[in-house]
Chain A
Amino acid sequence: MASGVKPRVKVPKTAAAGDAITIKSLISHKMESGQRKDKEGNLIPRSIINRFTVEFNGQSVLDMAMEPAISTNPYVQFEALVPEAGDFVFTWYDDDGSVYDTTKSIAIG
């Protein structure tokens, strides 16, 4: 498990049913590209977040495949529909097998 990996997501607390909302997501992760070399000249192996998914009450909003060209501390902004109250589940998958996730609830109002 990479250390210091922390998600940060902005979801409004409430929305009207059927609204489109903007979601901003960030996760602290080095995104080691596999292109860099260490002091001895050896290639530092790739170690990145390779996939980011967003689901709402079990339905897919976004499923994003990431490659090493995504910057350190990957940021993704997108729009989601809010048909009803529920939970947004954000999941990030690491090359090393770790999975990071966070859940944000939204109410209708």
Chain B
Amino acid sequence: MEFSRRETLALGLGAAVVTVMPFSVNAAADDVIATFTGGADMADTGIELTAPEIAENGNTVPVAVSAPGASAIILIATGNPTPGVAQFNFGPLAASQSASTRIRLAGTQDIVAIAQMADGSFAKASATVKVTIGGCGG
């Protein structure tokens, strides 16, 4: 990002040191959720979503999901240009219904994980991840 000298001065003069990308939400995220759940209610227990509070770098953010007894879990980045991130389908030889991966986040946003349980019900967890502008070289 190119800053004019005026902007650099403003930053240096006590503006927030941590520069945070603007929060954004995407209506397409709701569509992705609706496709997965068919509009059903989602319980707020039964699924865990682990993500850092502040991402070291938005290009590679480690996240983990876990929902004992789930047949599938979807992961959504509500602030990304396209919100769908992944869908984990667990087979009979999965030892646990959990997985970790690394994702790209375009800016500060909520990420959402929804599990479909064996009995057909759904559970949802979300986490806010701050994505910052780095200091030097991005």
- Inter-chain CA distance A79–B90, complex, in Å, is 10
* C-alpha gap A80/B92 in the complex (Å): 9
Decide: B85 and A61 in contact? CB cutoff 8 A.
no
A83 to B61 CA separation, bound complex (whole angstroms):
33
> For the complex, what is the distance from the CA of A71 to the CA of B98, rounded to whole Å?
19
Whether the Cβ atoms of B84 and A64 lie closer than 8 Å is: no
Task: Say if the beta carbon of B81 comes within 8 Å of chain A.
Answer: yes
CB distance from A8 to the nearest CB of B (A): 14
CA distance A35 to B94 in the complex (A): 34
| Residue interface mask A57-70, B partner, CB < 8 A = 1 | 00111111111111
Which residue of the partner chain, among B77, B90, B102, contacts A75 with CB atoms under 8 Å?
Answer: B102
Chain B min CB distance to A97 (Å): 21
A85 to chain B, nearest CB (A): 14
Q: Determine which of A60, A70, A71, A77 lies in contact with B93 in the assembled complex, contact meaning CB atoms within 8 Å.
A: A60
| Chain A residues with CB below 8 A from B61, complex form | 71
Residue B24 at the chain A interface, CB threshold 8 Å: no
**Alpha-carbon gap, A65 to B36, bound state (A):** 13
B93 / chain A contacts, CB cutoff of 8 Å = 56, 59-61, 80-81, 83
Question: Is residue A76 within 8 Å, beta carbon to beta carbon, of the partner chain?
Answer: yes
B101 sits at the interface (CB 8 A): yes
Residues of B66-123 contacting chain A, CB below 8 A: 77, 80-82, 84-96, 98-105
Question: Interface residues of B, CB < 8 Å — how many?
Answer: 29
Task: Show the binding face of A for B, using Cβ within 8 Å.
Answer: 20-21, 33, 35, 54-56, 59-72, 74-81, 83
Of listed B85, B88, B93, B99, residue having the most chain A CB within 10 A = B93
Known: A62-B91, A70-B104, A71-B60. Is A77-B86 also a contact (CB below 8 A)? no
Contact partner, A62, options B60, B99, B103, B104, Cβ 8 Å: B99
Q: Are B95 and A33 in contact (CB under 8 A)?
A: no
Whether B94 pairs with A81 at a CB distance below 8 angstroms is: yes
| Chain A residue with Cβ nearest B76 | A69
Contacts of B103 in A (CB 8 A): 69-71
**Complex Cα gap A65–B105 (Å):** 18
Q: In whole Å, how far is B49's beta carbon from the nearest beta carbon of chain A? A: 15
Give chain A residues whose Cβ lies under 8 Å from the Cβ of B77. Answer: 69
Q: Which residues of chain B come closer than 8 Å to A68, judged between CB atoms?
A: 82, 104
**Contact A76 B101, CB 8 Å, known A35-B81, A66-B86:** yes
